[in-house]
Amino acid sequence: AISLVWFRNDLRLADNPALAAGLESGSIVPVFVLDPAAKWGGASLWWLHHSLASLAKDCAARGAKLVLRRGDSAAIIAELARTLGAEAVHAGRAHEPWLRRVDRAVAEELAKRDIAFHRHRSALMFGGEQIVNKTGGVYGVYTPFSRACFEAFSARPAIAAPQRIGSIADVASDALDDWQLLPTRPDWSAGLAETWTPGEAGAHERLTAFLDADLDEYDRQRNLPGRSGTSMLSPHLHWGEIAIDAVWRATEAARTTRAEGRTTFLKELVWREFAAYLLWHNQDLDTVPMKAQFAAMPWRDAPGELRAWQRGRTGIPIVDAGMRQLWQTGWMHNRVRMITASFLVKHLLIPWQTGEAWFWDCLVDADVASNAASWQWVAGCGADAAPYFRIFNPVLQGLKFDPDGAYVRRFVPELANLPDEVIHAPWDAPQHVLRGAGVILGRTYPEPIVDLASGRDRALAALKEIGNSP
C-alpha cells in the first residue's frame, strides 16, 4: 500500500511517528505544503528554506524525493492522495489554530474519498485537550500543570531514522528555490547563517553540545545573557527537527553532577508545553488578552518610539542589545526577551500585540503559542501573570544579569569602552567618563527615549485605570 507522509512541524526522519507508521504499511511519498494560511514571518521563512533543503537531502540519501507543493493544503493533499492511489495520509498532530483549521478541511476532503487521515503525537508531550485538572477542568497556571506533566509523561522509546525510504513513481514537485523564501533585497540573513545550522543534524549537534557543556550549570547560567548557557534549541524544537521526546530522553540520560540543572531544563520544556496548552484552549491567544479588562488599557500609538525599540535605538543599553541580537541573529536570550517586552508594554505603553508581531517576524523560533503566551505573561494579561505593580527596571535587570556588561558590549559596540558600573545607565555617568569612552549621548548613542521613572508611573496609572490594582 502507498501512503502520504505529510511533514509540517516535524521536519525530521528520526523519532517521527507519522513517518514510521507510513513506512510500516508500505511505501510512502513524503510531502511538504507551503500554505499561505501559515503567515510565517521573514526569519521563519529563512529557517524553513534551509530546513527543507536539509530534509530533502536526507530523504534523497535514502532513495526518496521530498515533494514540495504550494497552495491550499486541503486541495493539494487530497488531490495527491487520490492520484497516487494512497490508502492513508500520516501527519503529526496539529495544535496551532491555522493548522487545526487546515486539518479539519483536509479530513473532510479525505473522508469524501475514503482515504484515512492518521495524526500522531509528534510536536508536543501531550495534546492540549489531554491534560485536565482533578476536577476535569483546564489548568490556569503553570505550577500544577507542570506537576501533572511530570507525573504523566514518559518519553517514548527512540525510533531510528529509516535506512531506506524507497521511492515510488516520480511525483512532480516544485523547486525549493522557486519559492523564494530567502531574503534578497536586502539580504539580512548573514548573522542568521553565522549563528544557526537548520536541519535535523544541526539540531542533534546543538543538543549534544548543550548537554555536554551546559546542563550541569543550567539553573545558574540560564539567566545570564552574556554567557551561552542555554540550549538554543528553540527553533529546532519549533520546526520539529528534533523530537521533544528525544530531547527529554537525552536530558534524562545525560551524565550530570548537579540535579538542579537537569530539573530546571526539563521544567523549561514544560513551559513550551504549557504555552501550547494555553493556545489550545484560547485559539486567539495572539490577539485577545486572557484577562478581559486589558481590552480597555489606554495604549499609546507612538510610531517613533516603536521604531526606536525595533531598531535597538531606545537609549536603554540592555533593551537595545536585545533588540539588536534579535535583528542580527533571529534569536534573543529569554531574560532579555522579558526585559525588552516589558519595556515596550510598560514603559512605552505600546500594545503587546505590536511587540508580538515584531518578534513573530524576526524570530527564527517564532511560535504562535510560546510567543503569544509569553507576551501576555509580560503584559500582565496572561496566565500566571506577575503582579501588576511588578515592572522590570531595565537598569537593575542589566546590573543583575549582565554584571560585567559583556552582553551590552557585544551588541552595542558604541558603548564597549564604558566601565561596568555605568554601562547599563550611561546617562548617569560623569561627562569625563563618557568622553574617555568615546561616548557622546545624543550623537554616538541615543539619549533614553523615555525617563524610566515617569514611564513606570504612567504604566502604573494605566493599570490602575483598568482596575488591575490590589
Where on the chain is the footprint of ligand FAD (CB under 6 A)?
A: 222, 230-234, 237-238, 268-269, 271-272, 275, 334, 337-338, 341, 359, 363, 365-367, 370-371, 374-375, 378
Catalytic residue among 98, 179, 188, 299: 299
Residue number, 146 or 234, with CB nearest to ligand FAD: 234
Q: How many CB atoms within 10 Å of residue 306?
A: 18
Q: Is 232 annotated as a binding residue?
A: yes
β-partners of residue 117 are 89
The minimum distance between CB 245 and ligand FAD, in angstroms, equals 14
Active site residue 280: no
Q: Residue 89 or residue 373: which is nearer to ligand FAD going by CB?
A: 373
CB of 379 to ligand FAD, least distance (A): 9
Residue 279 annotated in ligand binding: no
Compute the least distance from the CB of residue 275 to ligand FAD, in Å. Answer: 5
| 288 neighbors 282 (Cβ within 8 angstroms) | yes
Please name which of 435, 330, 13, 411 lies closest in space to residue 203, comparing C-alpha atoms.
13
What's the min distance (Å) between Cβ of 135 and ligand FAD? 26
Closest CB to ligand FAD among residues 99, 233: 233
H or E element in which residue 235 lies? helix 234-238
218 carries a ligand binding annotation: yes
The residue annotated as part of the active site, out of 79, 87, 217, 268, is 268
Residue number with CB closer to ligand FAD (124 or 429): 124
Q: Catalytic annotation on 299?
A: yes
Q: Is 145 marked within a binding site?
A: no
Burial class, 217, CB count within 10 angstroms (exposed 0-12 / middle 13-18 / buried 19+): middle
404 is in an annotated binding site: no
Q: Which amino acid is at 465?
A: E
Nearer to ligand FAD, 3 or 325 (CB): 325
What count of Cα atoms within 13 Å lies in the side-chain half-sphere of residue 436? Answer: 9
Closest CB 165 distance from ligand FAD, rounded Å: 28
Q: Out of 271, 414, 417, 427, pick the active-site residue.
A: 271
Q: Is 366 annotated as a binding residue?
A: yes
Catalytic residue among 40, 87, 98, 334: 334
Task: Evaluate whether 370 touches 275 at the Cβ level (below 8 Å).
Answer: yes
Amino acid in the structure at residue 382 = G
Query: In the complex, what is the shortest distance from the CB of residue 357 to ligand FAD, in angstroms, rounded to a whole number?
Result: 11
Burial class (CB in 10 A: 0-12, 13-18, 19+), 441: middle
**Known catalytic residue at 352:** yes
Among residues 331, 375, 377, 468, the one annotated as catalytic is 375
- Residue 70, classed as helix, strand or coil, is strand
The closest of 202, 207, 21, 189 to 121, measured between CA atoms, is 21
Q: Is 73 annotated as a binding residue?
A: no
CB of 322 to ligand FAD, least distance (A): 10
Residue written as cell 493548522? 99
Give pairs for 402-405: CB < 8 Å, separation 24+: 402/224, 402/225, 402/226, 402/318, 402/321, 404/226, 405/226
Residue 265 labeled ligand binder:
yes
Q: Tell me the three cell numbers of residue 322.
A: 536585545
Which residue in this structure is represented by grid cell 490508502?
A: 87
Between 391 and 418, name the residue whose CB sits nearer to ligand FAD: 391
Output 268 or 420, the one with its CB closest to ligand FAD. 268
CB 222, CB 229: distance < 8 Å: yes
Residue 152 grid cell? 504523566
- 309 CA to centre of own chain: 20
Cα gap 6→66, rounded to integer Å: 10
SS3 assignment, position 117: strand
Check the annotation: does 290 bind a ligand. Answer: no
Across the strands, what pairs with 28?
3
Which residues are known catalytic residues? 268, 271, 299, 334, 352, 375
Binding-site entries for FAD? 218, 230-234, 265, 365-367
Residues making up the annotated binding site are: 218, 230-234, 265, 365-367
